[in-house]
Amino acid sequence: MWPDRGLDYVKLDDDDDGVHYGLFEGEQLVSAVSLFIDGSEAQFRKFATRTEQQGQGYGSRLLQHVLNEAERSGVNRIYCNARSHKAAFYKKFGLSEVSGTAFTKGGKEYIIMEKLFGSAGVSSRKEP
């Protein structure tokens, strides 16, 4: 995800509170994502697939699994900080852009994207 940065750059204080998923091809970790559930909301973070294996469906399989897990857990909303140029990828999974949420981190442009589950999809949503 950040090949030009050290491991400490991607560590978060609350990493122990998340569930961390990895998709392997044989012994090699190909794609990874972390899911953090807080009450009725969930956030997935640190979603990455090895550059040389992108476009082969690994990330799609892993993301669909995490979305299913979040919905199964009973959350009303899942969101992520998506790189702006990847918005079309997330839209394929039913996530939509939250207007007015663009920001920059580490020189990269991001937007918040979300997916609402159950009755949350028809009621007013809480902004992040």
What is the CATH classification number for the domain harbouring 57? 3.40.630.30
Residue 46: per-residue pLDDT: 87
Q: Does 126 score more than 70 pLDDT? A: no
Residue 13 lies in a domain: yes
Residue 31: per-residue pLDDT: 92
Residue 110: per-residue pLDDT: 95
Following DSSP, what letter does each residue of 81-117 receive, concatenated? EEEGGGHHHHHTTT-EE-TT--EEETTEEEEEEEEE-
Number of Cβ within 10 Å of residue 103's Cβ equals 11
Residue 85 lies in a domain: yes
60-109 pLDDT, tens digit per residue, is: 999 999 999 999 999 999 999 999 999 999 999 999 999 999 999 888 99
Residue 2 lies in a domain: no
Question: pTM above the 0.75 mark?
Answer: yes
Q: Which has more pLDDT, 74 or 17? A: 74
Residue 127 lies in a domain: no
Residue 125 lies in a domain: no
Number of domains in the chain: 1
């009621």: which residue's tokens?
A: 123
Range of 71's domain?
A: 7-120
